Amino acid sequence: MKIKHSLSFVPFIIIVLITFSFKNVRSNVLLVKDVTEFNKAVKNAKPGDVITLANGVWQNVELVFEGKGTADNPIKLSVEDKGKVTLEGASNLQLAGEHLIVEGLVFKNGYTPTNAVISFRKNREEMANNTRLTECVIDNYNNPERQVQDYWITIFGKNNRIDHNHIVGKKNLGVTMIVGLDTKESLANNHKIDHNYFGPRPTFGNNGGETLRIGTSHHALENSNTLVESNYFDRTNGEHEIISNKSCQNTFKYNTFFECTGTLTMRHGNETLVDGNVFIGNGKPSTGGVRIINETQTVINNYHIGLTGYRFRGAFVMMNGVPNSPPNRYVPVIDSKLSNNTFINCDHIQLCAGSDSERSQAPSTSEISGNIFYNENKKDTFTVYDDISGITFKDNLLGKNGETSIKEGFETADITLVKNEQGFLIPKSKKIKHDISISPKVATKENTGTTWYSKKDTNVALNSGKTIQVKAGINTLYDIVKESKAGDIIELEANGTYLLTKAVQINHPLTFKTSGAKKATILFERMMAFEIQNGGSLSLENITFDGTKSPDYAGNSVISTSKNSMLDNYKLFIDNCEFKDMVVNHSFDVLRVSKGTFADTISIQNSSFKNISGHIAALDKETDDIGAYNVEYLLMKNNTVTDLQGAALRLYRGGKDESTFGPFLEVDHNVFNNVGFGKKNKYGVAISLYGVQVNDIQNNNFNNTKGLNMHLVVGEPIVNVVNNNYYKSGEIEVTGDEKYNVKNLYNVEPTFKEGTFELSDDSSLRGKGTDNKNIGIISKN
């Protein structure tokens, strides 16, 4: 009986063993410690297998993860502990096959050796389908050459999901994430891009800084069917197009755009849906919303607050198009609508934007209805550039102090703002006919990206560190910089003399200032006193720079940037400083920059410049005419410039690309005496501005000084020349390649050359030249 009982369990034991054996086959977990082990595991991987990268740094590894899993049993690539596996140096990942999952990888401290960090294909024939990329990190993984292009994530194939990834700090040329449509196997792909954290991307200063692009101009009429949902775009400021939609039938829902300088742009392709997104500007410059181009575009239920961008960066922009346009140019807006959207304290709604001799077709059979436009500070936020008879306006509400020149479809209402549970200000009024709410699916910083990788900003601001006192002497400044940390303040002795026999390299944010009322003096025996390196920013306060000890070479400078390409944008602040006697040889500049360097801000205030053989700032090294330039914001205020042989300023942005914003220039309350007459001043003017987008020149005195040249190249540059005094000084010459507006040109009388200027009804000066040129000279009577 005992034997019989024992034998009765034999089949059961066999079944259990077989069951566990099959389970182990399906869920084979392999820990791999190097590329050889990884490649072997991939080669032998079966559905259900998990390949796990061991903790540590994987240096210079190019991983190809391919295989054929199933929907129930995908093949997975994971890590031993999330956050403890990093791929560094020249590393990347290619995916190919079916039903794969990748999670937990971190790319940092290096850059891809190919054109992508993570690619959903091995080659054009072998790509990934039904594959998921989740909880991966790409953090400042940039090619050190600013103008070398690569992408971070390239998505091909079909039915792929990219979710909960942390993507931050792209600084070199190239879109952060693309959806490619260059093969038929990637069309109508049904990809889902959701819950990703797109962290700060600094201003690139050139085209090619988009964060997300779906398609290309070559495939503009192909259907992508990509869903972009619940992603958080945090200060993704690379260029004008945060998202560049370049294909058909894509959907953008519940995404949040936080302080992003740019727009979600329907650049090419039709039948796009933009629904339930949130755009938060907080009053930051150039923050925008949605820009419509092409046909059958739908923008509904979106919430916009505090957006300040103008022209193509408005809170809402509906473009003019090119008649019979090819798909890759500007297809006119047809059958499109803006409905049930909310705009709170947004400065600019732009209709028929970009209207010119080429983009001459206004929108047609389109509708703007049921929207709320509330602004506490500005009455009319609408700018109309062309015929709007093709747009139907109905049931739109303005705040009680709002107004518009559009005659129909608007009504004022007594609107109050009430904060909801999510912290958004929601307009309330008896005249509001539809429900205004923010979907609980809308992205937040907390519900996107990973839970285990920090979203804290790592940038260190100027003047945020400790104060270090340094004694006067030879190379004491050089030595103290070696000991300094990012954000430190180096305090010089009042009336002290500091001699540099070695150039000080600035590779993190540093401030130099004199502690007392009497300025310390810095002399230098090298061709420069300070060289700003990648990662550096510089603030100079209350210091005298004397050029009498500088070498007898042509081309000295007080401050220069690295000769090599700089990935990191820098800042330069000069306040209450003195620059004198820099004439030991010709072309002695105060600031000299190199190609491939870019400043977020250069501010020169309350300072004096006297007896200098070069320029104050020659920001003119990006001469490829592709839309690149050297500085975003430049401020010169309350300065005195005397006996400067070169130009006070040379600022250049060539080309007609409309993907960038700047430069933005403000020249205010300066005195220029005897400026620009040196034989080496190739510009022949005191200030030379080429392609600058915002020119604000006010309240300056020009005495016995060369003129100002301003060449207007692209878009609708703003030119504000106000209340300047000219005495025995040169002319203001304004030239341009295409139609432009020059606003508020006061205290000067126009004279004309080779073209005509006429004052238009809106009191702006429009140039109309011959042979597609607008050439004129504005001079004092």
Which amino acid is residue 424, in one-letter code? F
Strand partners, 592: 560, 618
Q: What mean pLDDT is predicted for residues 480-492?
A: 97
Residue 291 CB partners (closer than 8 Å, separation 6+): 263, 264, 265, 266, 312, 314, 316, 317, 318, 319, 353
Determine if the pTM surpasses 0.85.
yes
The rounded mean pLDDT for the chain is 90
Contacts of residue 699, defined as CB under 8 A and 6 or more positions apart, other chains included, come to 668, 669, 722, 723, 724
Predicted confidence at residue 758, as pLDDT, reads: 32
Confidence of residue 27 (pLDDT cuts 50, 70, 90): low
Highest mean pLDDT out of 92-96, 626-630, 661-665: 92-96
Three-point CA angle 61, 64, 66, nearest 5°: 155
- Element spanning 740, H or E: none
Tally the C-alpha atoms within 13 A of residue 613's C-alpha that lie toward its C-beta. 19
Predicted local confidence at residue 465, as pLDDT? 95
Encoded tokens for 358: 């080429």
pLDDT at 11 over 60: no
User: Is the pLDDT score of 769 beyond 90?
Assistant: no
For residue 750, what pLDDT is reported?
34
Q: Quick check: bond before 663 cis, omega within 30?
A: yes
Residue type, 733: E
Tell me the fold of 256-442. Pectate Lyase C-like (2.160.20)
List the structure tokens of 50.
Answer: 């998990």
- What DSSP designation does 421 have? T
- Residue 99, exposed/middle/buried by CB under 10 A (0-12, 13-18, 19+)? buried
The pLDDT score that the predictor gives to residue 721 is: 84
Return the domain boundaries, the chain. Answer: 256-442, 615-779
pLDDT digits (tens, 9 = 90+) for 387-402: 999 999 999 999 998 9
Q: Is 72 helix (H, G, I), strand (E, B) or coil?
A: coil
Query: What value does the mean pLDDT take over residues 272-282?
Result: 98
Percent of the chain whose pLDDT exceeds 70: 91
If pLDDT is split at 50, 70 and 90, which confidence band does 737 have? low
Question: 421-459, pLDDT tens digit by residue?
Answer: 999 999 999 999 888 999 999 999 999 999 999 999 988
- The phi, psi pair for 605, rounded to 5°, reads -135, 150
Q: Report the C-alpha gap between 527 and 558 in whole angstroms.
A: 8
Per-residue pLDDT at 235 exceeds 90: yes
pLDDT at 659: 78
Average pLDDT, integer, range 546-551: 97
> Quick check: 309 pLDDT over 80?
yes
Q: Confidence class of residue 746 from pLDDT cuts 50, 70 and 90? A: very low
Beta bridge partners of 58: 87
What pLDDT is recorded for position 357?
A: 86
Instruction: State mean pLDDT over 226-250.
Output: 96
Region 293-304: what's the mean pLDDT?
97
Interval 106-116: pLDDT, tens = 999 999 999 99
pLDDT for position 74: 98
> Does pLDDT of 742 surpass 80?
no
